Amino acid sequence: MNKKSNEGLTVKKEDFSEWFSQVIEKAEIVDLRLGLKGFIVKRAWGTRIIEKMYQLYEEELQKNKHQPVIMPSLIPESNLKKESEHVEGFNPEVFWLESQKGEERLALRPTSETLFTPMFKLWIRSHRDLPMKIYQKGSVFRLDTKATRPLIREREFQWIEAHDAFGTKEEAEKQVQEDIETTEKVMHQKFGIPFLPLKRPIWDKFAGAEYTIGSDVIMPDGKLIQQPSTHLMGQKFSKAFNAKFVDEKGNEEYLWTTAYGPAISRILVSVISVHGDNKGLVIPSLISPIQIIIIPIYKKENKEKIIKYAQKILNKLEGYRVEIDDRDFNTPGRKFNEWELKGVPFRIEVGEEELKKESITFFIRDIRKREQILLRDLSKIKLYEKEYNKRIINNADKFLESRIKECKTIDEIKKSIKEGKIVKTSFCSIEKEGLNCAEKIEKETGAGIRGILANKKELPKGKCIICKKDAKEVVYIGKSY
């Protein structure tokens, strides 16, 4: 804990960009001082949150019958180049290794379709081997030459990639919906981050996919950030790698594949940005490395008995992640600030008075409220925890809802985008023929067509706002990270 980290924030959250820069360093999520463009150190507090997020994601994936594998971090050039759209899209972003004599040129994986598909080819013979659902966690590498931003746009980031293979398009499309549901169950219900699952316009899909659904999350500044995306790869990769199976009737068919990619370190951006406040982070209790921090308040003469009391309370809090902060050289006030900055959901303060009354002072991070609880009523904490998580989800939900604005003219769109809104409007098409209109909107407003709702059909009213042809879609428009 160096001095810098103990200082509080010097800006309010309204000044979002600066607030974000400060909070990720001061709350010890990251350290940017390695001086390596696009590569940062995730410090212990950040890493412990990331680990919890991984754990909840993996539990859900495994519940849905995904099995983990570990693939190499490197991809041979010939694999990467097998699917033409894919290589065209990713090639500029690839880190290549210096060649070894007599060996093939290798890339640091930017994504791993070209490793998973050849394994599908080996592991799947018949419909009995289907579906095959596998995933890996780890780092991927993208040579972003634009401005990199910590956690938001990194050259190396931590993610999960799930790759699934099926016998029919129908099953593959069902998987895409299951992926959206996984995002809902984990990112929304556990991390408290609501999202719009948007089927991207054709010109904005993953390189090599038939279509892509991105989960757009709104940031405090009104911009959107893409969180987990899921892709129907269709038979594009299976054809490129000649990955077939024998169906029930004995016919050889190409596999249908999907991919799902939650970037854990980028979802952390949303957790920080959506829930945080002027005092620092507010971490959902399921992913907080410490859920309850106990701060004993003592002087030299009563230290022993207060610490003993703190220990007694800790022992009563089974099932929670609890720690006692008994660092002598920090005042209670500094400790309060530090743990609020780090977003620990609950604080227990115990001193002479609490000891006398057999009670605790219980502080709730998001509403910054203190409650007195008697030791015999400690089970109340369960309820406080439930309310805490409900509150932060509700607040996030309300914020997203309040920012969606239905517009009927380009002027309305311009105005709403300026106000940091997400615009909902009727639009001709997210297929190729809509690109012209999309470009006009982008030129006029600085915002892009993000897509149409992927888990619910919304019916457009009337004409496309630009070309005045019959609208086929209701699209969402926003600025993005």
Residues engaged in binding its own copies (CB under 8 A) = 1-3, 31, 33-37, 39-44, 46-48, 50-51, 67-74, 76, 95-98, 100, 103-104, 106, 108, 115, 118-119, 122-125, 128-129, 134, 136, 138-139, 141, 143, 156, 158, 329
Smallest distance, its own copies to C-beta of residue 289, A: 9
Nearer to its own copies by Cβ, of 46 and 478: the residue is: 46
Smallest distance, its own copies to C-beta of residue 152, A: 16
Nearer to its own copies by Cβ, of 134 and 213: the residue is: 134
Query: CA nearest 179: which of 261, 112, 70, 68?
Result: 261
Nearer to its own copies by Cβ, of 119 and 393: the residue is: 119
Smallest distance, its own copies to C-beta of residue 355, A: 27
Q: Within a 10 A sphere around the Cβ of 254, how many other Cβ atoms? A: 18
The amino acid sitting at 319 is: G
User: Are 160 and 61 contacting, i.e. CB atoms less than 8 angstroms apart?
Assistant: yes
Nearer to its own copies by Cβ, of 93 and 253: the residue is: 93
Nearer to its own copies by Cβ, of 74 and 314: the residue is: 74
- Beta pairing partners, 294: 324, 348
- Residue 294's contacts (CB-CB under 8 Å, 6 or more residues apart) are 310, 313, 314, 322, 323, 324, 325, 347, 348, 350
- Beta pairing partners, 163: 134, 259
Query: CA nearest 132: which of 12, 3, 243?
Result: 243
User: Are 411 and 430 contacting, i.e. CB atoms less than 8 angstroms apart?
Assistant: no
Smallest distance, its own copies to C-beta of residue 35, A: 8
Nearer to its own copies by Cβ, of 70 and 459: the residue is: 70
State phi, psi for 20 to the nearest 5 degrees: -60, -45
Q: How far apart are CA 276 and CA 220, in angstroms?
A: 10
3-state secondary structure 402-433: HCEEECCCHHHHHHHHHCCCEEEEEECCCCHH
User: Are 428 and 434 contacting, i.e. CB atoms less than 8 angstroms apart?
Assistant: yes
Q: How far apart are CA 337 and CA 56, in angstroms?
A: 28
Smallest distance, its own copies to C-beta of residue 108, A: 7
According to DSSP, residue 186 is labeled I
State phi, psi for 435 to the nearest 5 degrees: -60, -40
Query: CA nearest 219: which of 367, 438, 14, 476?
Result: 14
Smallest distance, its own copies to C-beta of residue 40, A: 7
Smallest distance, its own copies to C-beta of residue 317, A: 18
Nearer to its own copies by Cβ, of 66 and 200: the residue is: 66
Nearer to its own copies by Cβ, of 245 and 362: the residue is: 245
Smallest distance, its own copies to C-beta of residue 139, A: 6
Nearer to its own copies by Cβ, of 76 and 332: the residue is: 76
Smallest distance, its own copies to C-beta of residue 411, A: 44
Smallest distance, its own copies to C-beta of residue 397, A: 30
Query: CA nearest 445: which of 412, 414, 406, 405?
Result: 414
Q: How far apart are CA 88 and CA 220, in angstroms?
A: 34
Smallest distance, its own copies to C-beta of residue 263, A: 13
State phi, psi for 291 to the nearest 5 degrees: -95, -35
Query: CA nearest 367: which of 349, 386, 350, 391?
Result: 391
Give the helix/strand (H/E) hosting 337. Answer: helix 332-341
Nearer to its own copies by Cβ, of 35 and 250: the residue is: 35
Nearer to its own copies by Cβ, of 1 and 367: the residue is: 1
Nearer to its own copies by Cβ, of 95 and 481: the residue is: 95
* Cα angle: 229, vertex 233, 234; to 5 degrees: 140
* Paired sense of beta strands 252-254 and 292-296, if any: unpaired
Smallest distance, its own copies to C-beta of residue 99, A: 9
* Paired sense of beta strands 67-68 and 39-42, if any: unpaired
